[in-house]
Amino acid sequence: MERGGKVSYKQTRVWNVDNWDEEEPSPPEIEEAGLCISRGEAVAFPTETVYGLGADARSDEAVEQIFAAKGRPGDNPLIVHIGERSQWQGLASVIPDMAEKLADAFWPGPLTLIVPKNNAVSEKVTAGLSTVAVRMPEHPVARALINKAGIPVAAPSANQSGRPSPTKAEHVTYDLDGKIAGIVQGGEAGYGLESTVVDCTGEKAVVLRPGGITREQLTSVLGEENVAETAALLQEDAPRAPGMKYRHYAPSAPLVLVEGSINEAAKQARGEGKTVGIMAVDEHRLELQAYADVFISLGSKDELSDIAARLYDNLRLADQSSVDVIFCETFPKKGIGEAVMNRLEKAASAS
């Protein structure tokens, strides 16, 4: 082990469980990966949202491996993943009624609930806050891995901090090979965006990060009067959840969001000698591709859930094209569109 808790690996191990049928017993690959986590190592694994980088949520030393591998700021809290609902009681000092209702409706699934914590998890997981963020993933490989580890697993996205989150195992390899113990290869993530994060510690539920569970779904359970407006993401405040403070999800080239036609912005950039990438829906391809050195289709404007699922993969494709600037069209902030725009706005942030 190097200074600061950083571990170097000559080779990051890969366990392929893509063809595992969850009706069958857990394969030895999952058992081996779970053992690595239980003995304090960091392992990447698939969830239904993105690939996560998991380590023992109770251990300062194990959690430090996550921060070191990702280059993640220490004041950015982590989400604790559980394999069974019963594990929640061991992490929280109290579970509010609204949190119970949301868990009943959406667990297992892409929803993270923030509740008052007890002392079961490392302070490094909670960034010194009095709360803990918990979720039970829907992906069968994730739950099987957590259960084999036998401990709560802290797991942010398995990417270099600030980069687009990984939706495929090869994305993890690109960012973290040699920096973590292993990667559980379980196919592509489904939703493609991180979980919705809801603070359940106040009188109303507060959405701190939009994601796979939409505001409309939350209000259908709690009532519109019990779901506050989305929290202002003030950068000077200590973040209460992942994705609130720092620049995230970003390719290396500047990402510019354009409402309306991208033509003029692209023409101006090319007139300045810049190479231009354009990310837009299929319906605008013919109109826009003449102005792009690289055109990346986001999918159909009528299938926003598909656009969400492919967003990070497309941001990585844009990055690999090595253009000087990337122009991307925008979407209505309704339903899953709120989460899509949250990620794009963070990726376009200059902070």
- 277 in Cβ contact with 323 (< 8 Å): yes
Q: Are 25 and 141 in a shared domain?
A: yes
Stretch 185-209: mean pLDDT: 95
pLDDT tens digits, 60-107: 999 999 999 999 877 789 999 999 999 999 999 999 999 999 999 999
Q: Are 189 and 289 in a shared domain?
A: no
Q: Are 111 and 165 in a shared domain?
A: yes
Q: Are 9 and 158 in a shared domain?
A: yes
- Domain containing 170: what range? 3-226
pLDDT tens digits, 243-277: 555 556 778 889 999 997 899 999 999 999 999 99
Domain annotation covers residue 298: yes
Q: How far is the C-alpha of 92 from the C-alpha of 227, rounded, in Å?
A: 21
Q: Are 269 and 307 in a shared domain?
A: yes
Q: How far is the C-alpha of 190 from the C-alpha of 180, rounded, in Å?
A: 23
Q: Are 202 and 63 in a shared domain?
A: yes
Q: Are 65 and 174 in a shared domain?
A: yes
Q: Are 316 and 178 in a shared domain?
A: no
pTM for this one? 0.91
Q: Are 174 and 282 in a shared domain?
A: no
- 275 in Cβ contact with 293 (< 8 Å): yes
Region class of 111: left (phi > 0), else alpha (psi between -120 and 50), else beta: beta
Instruction: Give the domain CATH number at 314.
Output: 3.40.50.11030
Average pLDDT for the chain: 91
- φ, ψ for residue 120 (rounded to 5)? -75, -25
Q: How far is the C-alpha of 321 from the C-alpha of 189, rounded, in Å?
A: 23
Q: What per-residue confidence (pLDDT) applies to 235? A: 44
**Residue 202 vs residues 48, 116, 130, 170, 342: alpha-carbon distances, Å:** 28, 10, 13, 40, 23
Domain annotation covers residue 211: yes
Q: What per-residue confidence (pLDDT) applies to 261? A: 83
Whether the CA torsion 279, 284, 287, 289 is positive or negative: it is: positive
Please report which helix (H) or strand (E) contains residue 270, including its range.
Answer: helix 263-271
Domain annotation covers residue 177: yes
Q: Does 221 have pLDDT greater than 80?
A: yes
Q: What per-residue confidence (pLDDT) applies to 255? A: 94
Q: What per-residue confidence (pLDDT) applies to 229? A: 74
Q: Are 46 and 120 in a shared domain?
A: yes
pLDDT tens digits, 25-57: 899 999 999 999 999 999 999 999 999 999 999
Q: Are 207 and 282 in a shared domain?
A: no
Q: How far is the C-alpha of 41 from the C-alpha of 7, rounded, in Å?
A: 9
Q: Are 29 and 172 in a shared domain?
A: yes
Instruction: Give the domain CATH number at 220.
Output: 3.90.870.10
Domain annotation covers residue 340: yes
Half-sphere CA count of 13, side-chain side, radius 13 A:
13
Q: How far is the C-alpha of 287 from the C-alpha of 306, rounded, in Å?
A: 22
Domain annotation covers residue 290: yes
Domain annotation covers residue 242: no
Among 188, 161, 198, 187, smallest CA distance to 176 is for: 161
